[in-house]
Structure 1
């Protein structure tokens, strides 16, 4: 059974609230879970201690059982010091899209042509 530690969404429309849960990976996102491990409230300020609340003993238990955290939960665990930081590389994130590249080329062409009065 493939175990995951992931977020389950709650809250109302445009007011998200997430539970950090241990679940079987085949279950739906907001479906059945084995244990609630904490909460995440993205609407609170980033420096608020209630933004991310986790029971680290139980998280470590599930990690020892072989549960794999999702990317977002892994970032929470890195911030809490439970997991070592991993280097992430997305070289395409800095490359502009088609439209922006075309605009930049037009702007460069306009700047290169001599000014006429």
Structure 2
């Protein structure tokens, strides 16, 4: 199964996240199929690649609950 989920990066206590398309059995920081966005919880910055996300959702990728909330706010879902 393919998931759209967050991949953590950045320093200790200053985490940022990449929104990635990845196999559900892969590690949290494993190699993604594609990076489709960015989220910084400190500044509340969210950048999304709408066309890629829509393509993956049409192919059957399942977003995690956190990513689903972001996509609902951005009106992609």
Please confirm whether the aligned pair reaches a TM-score higher than 0.5, indicating the same fold. Answer: yes
The residue aligned with 1:7 is 6
Give runs of aligned pairs for residues 83-94 of structure 1, distance below 5 A: 83=77
Q: Which of 63, 71, 96 does residue 65 from structure 2 map onto?
A: 71
Structure 2, unpaired ranges of 5+ = none
RMSD between aligned residues: 0.6
Task: Say yes or no: does 1:59 pair with 2:53.
Answer: yes
Hey, which bits of structure 1, 4+ residues long, moved more than 4 A?
none
Output one character per residue of 1:43-64: Cα deviation in whole Å (capped at 9) or x when no partner.
Answer: 10x4xxxx00000100000001
Higher relative contact order, chain-length normalized (CA < 8 Å, sep 6+): 2
Give the alignment's TM-score, normalised by structure 2.
Answer: 0.97
Output one character per residue of 1:31-54: Cα deviation in whole Å (capped at 9) or x when no partner.
Answer: 11100001000010x4xxxx0000
Q: Which has the higher helix share?
A: 1
How many residues get paired? 77
Structure 1, unpaired ranges of 5+ = 84-117
The residue aligned with 1:21 is 20
**In terms of Rg, which structure is larger?**
1
